[in-house]
Structure 1
Amino acid sequence: MLGSQCAASEPVPAHSLWRGQDMSPNMRGALLMTGSMAAFTCNDTVVKLLGSEMPLFQILVLRSGLSAVWIYFLARRLGALHLRFGRRDRMLVALRCLSEIGATYFFLTALLNMPLANVTAVLQMLPLTVTLGAALFFGEQVGWRRMLAIGLGFCGMLLIVRPGPDGFTLHAIYAMAAVICVTARDLVTRRMSSHVPSLTVTLATALSVMSFGLVGSLTVDWVPLTTDLGLGLLAASLLVLGGYLFSVMVMRIGEVGFVAPFRYSSLLWALVLGWLVFGDWPDPLTMAGVALVVATGLFTLFRERASRHRG
């Protein structure tokens, strides 16, 4: 889902799928980030629709299997599929796959039972949780301003999930568990060396999620595939591939401080699609929480950029 780390100094390869020579690198990066968020949010919408007629584990197996096929052929075409990296990186890839399995299960379970915009808004905590995790586990310096922003961001998340008299609902807990898993995934990814091809990692992830779905499928009955369900699964797999492709391309274009905030465009897509497709619109208190999460996330990104420039 995430591709916020950009390498402005790394040139776009000759086989890039879109060059956009008439635009500045920052504008191309912003458009690619927006496209990536649109593709992922549209995928979430399709999966939420499929979930009303198909068990989650069946969705995981079929969508991940189709995605793995697309990723494999793309990786082979680009020559980006190999295991020529060390044992440490292989362990990190395995940890990343486990984190992705947890993130996928918790996120999709929450998605099938909560409004699209609410689940998407909770995931906007990621810039804050990754910053906090880097400080706790990697010893990265985080000033008091960013720590204050992280605290306010968590307050915003509480406004979104709003525990009732009996505490958090199970699905709200799942949404927060997804944030923890994605945070772990991103922190593990930071520790990988540059020798590990992105598409190899992505293929391993898709196969891991598919394998998890196969095990889970032993506990549920599959439903027959109709034309509509088959087309929905095909669309979901292509949207995941498109979102990933755009996120890979954005890593090679523009400045991270300029491009990363466009990640929050996923909220706009979620609000619009949630209203048009499911008839959901967040209440004012939820919107206040969304605004607080976004504001603190943007502040954290800008403070991190300022710290890098000073360094």
Structure 2
Amino acid sequence: MISDTRQGILLMTFSMLGFAAADALIKASSGAMTSGQIVLALGIGGTILFSIICIAKGQAPFSSNFFDRAVVVRSIGESFGSVGIITSIAYIPISTVSAIQQATPLVVTLGAVLFFNESVGWRRWLAIVIGFFCVMLIIRPGMDAFNPYALLALLGMFGLSVRDLATRPVKNSISTMQLSVYGYLVLIPAGIVVSLIMGTEILPPFTALGHAAIILCFSALGYVAITQSMRIAPLSDVAPFRYSRLLFALFFGIVFFGERPDWQTYLGSFGIIMSGLVLIWREKRS
């Protein structure tokens, strides 16, 4: 168990680095591809990549398991989460997007209460309320600094929370590689829909396929790592290391994009992280 926990922590940290790097590459590629094209390219590339891996491992990449309730809900959350995050990255600082994403454990805890009948004491309720207040501090709706694209990051955060919640009841007979195929498969129609809504070209330009391939590599590594981490180690042990993504995002944003987060973003990020850590601490004591 100790070995599994350590491996889970390493996988979680590695996945956060992979996702932060993918976010930075998405922002850097936003001039060459639209968000819908990026989602579509990731969907096609990821589906092909993980299907090949499944076949190499003697697993069926597509089966009736795709229609299991937990897998369907997980896939829907994956599509909304990916679209929201990828689209918002093109228009707001990646450090802001990452800070909003740190509220995912708060939503997961709330979802566990609503859908899995888990009990939460007043301390955890207080942490959830404070965490959501800090999200509002970062987004600042109704104020001059408000950017409506931050709502897409919020949508992405809720979508990824649904994905994480739905991962729990997924049957053990469904492998991590199969889940990866399903997760990327739903991005194909999602990318097409986004392009149609935005009135842009559906297919990415040929010259941008190299960008998409590199984004896919980092995204796929992060995707496999986080899924495997949550399946081999207790969630309460690996969850704190999700916050390393914010550190990686701040590094990429400051060094490569010249971002300078204001004090509200720093304060909100700190509050969200502390709220999440309180939830984890209370979970381990209960």
Q: Is the shorter-chain TM-score for this pair beyond 0.5, marking a shared fold?
A: yes
Alpha-carbon separation, structure 1, partners of 2:146 and 2:58: 47
Indicate yes or no: 2:61 matched with 1:79: no
Residue 178 of structure 2 corresponds to 200
Distance apart, 1:54 and its partner CA: 1.3
Residue 180 of structure 1 corresponds to 158
Q: Retained in 2: the 8 A contact 1:150–1:296?
A: yes
Residue 127 of structure 2 corresponds to 149
Identity %: 33
Alpha-carbon separation, structure 2, partners of 1:163 and 1:127: 22
Residue 245 of structure 2 corresponds to 266
Q: Any gaps of 5 or more consecutive residues in structure 1?
A: 1-7, 10-23
| SS of residue paired to 1:108 | helix
Residue 38 of structure 1 corresponds to 17
Residue 200 of structure 2 corresponds to 220
Residue 170 of structure 1 corresponds to 148
Alpha-carbon separation, structure 2, partners of 1:165 and 1:283: 14
Alpha-carbon separation, structure 1, partners of 2:172 and 2:227: 14
Superposition CA RMSD, Å: 2.4
Note the alpha carbon deviations across 1:239-276, whole angstroms, 9 max, x for none: 11211232244346555433321111101100000011
Q: What is the one-letter code of the residue matched to 1:46?
A: L
Q: Retained in 2: the 8 A contact 1:118–1:160?
A: yes
- TM-score normalised to the size of structure 1? 0.83
User: Could you tell me which of 117, 126, 143 is aligned with 1:139?
Assistant: 117
Alpha-carbon separation, structure 2, partners of 1:131 and 1:116: 25
Alpha-carbon separation, structure 2, partners of 1:59 and 1:86: 27
Alpha-carbon separation, structure 1, partners of 2:268 and 2:69: 37
Structure holding more helix per residue: 2
Alpha-carbon separation, structure 2, partners of 1:201 and 1:29: 18
Q: Retained in 2: the 8 A contact 1:25–1:254?
A: yes
Q: Retained in 1: the 8 A contact 2:38–2:204?
A: no
1:33-72 equivalent positions in 2, closer than 5 A? 33-72=12-51
Distance apart, 1:103 and its partner CA: 1.3
Distance apart, 1:166 and its partner CA: 7.3
Distance apart, 1:223 and its partner CA: 5.6
Q: What is the one-letter code of the residue matched to 1:205?
A: G
Alpha-carbon separation, structure 2, partners of 1:98 and 1:284: 35
Residues 258 and 171 of structure 1, relative CA distance in 2, 3 Å threshold? same
Residue 125 of structure 1 corresponds to 103
Q: Any gaps of 5 or more consecutive residues in structure 2?
A: none
Residue 222 of structure 2 corresponds to 243
Distance apart, 1:125 and its partner CA: 0.5
Residues 268 and 299 of structure 1, relative CA distance in 2, 3 Å threshold? same
Distance apart, 1:292 and its partner CA: 0.4
Alpha-carbon separation, structure 2, partners of 1:206 and 1:79: 20
Q: Structure 1 residues 165-174 or 125-134, which shifts more?
A: 165-174
- TM-score normalised to the size of structure 2? 0.89
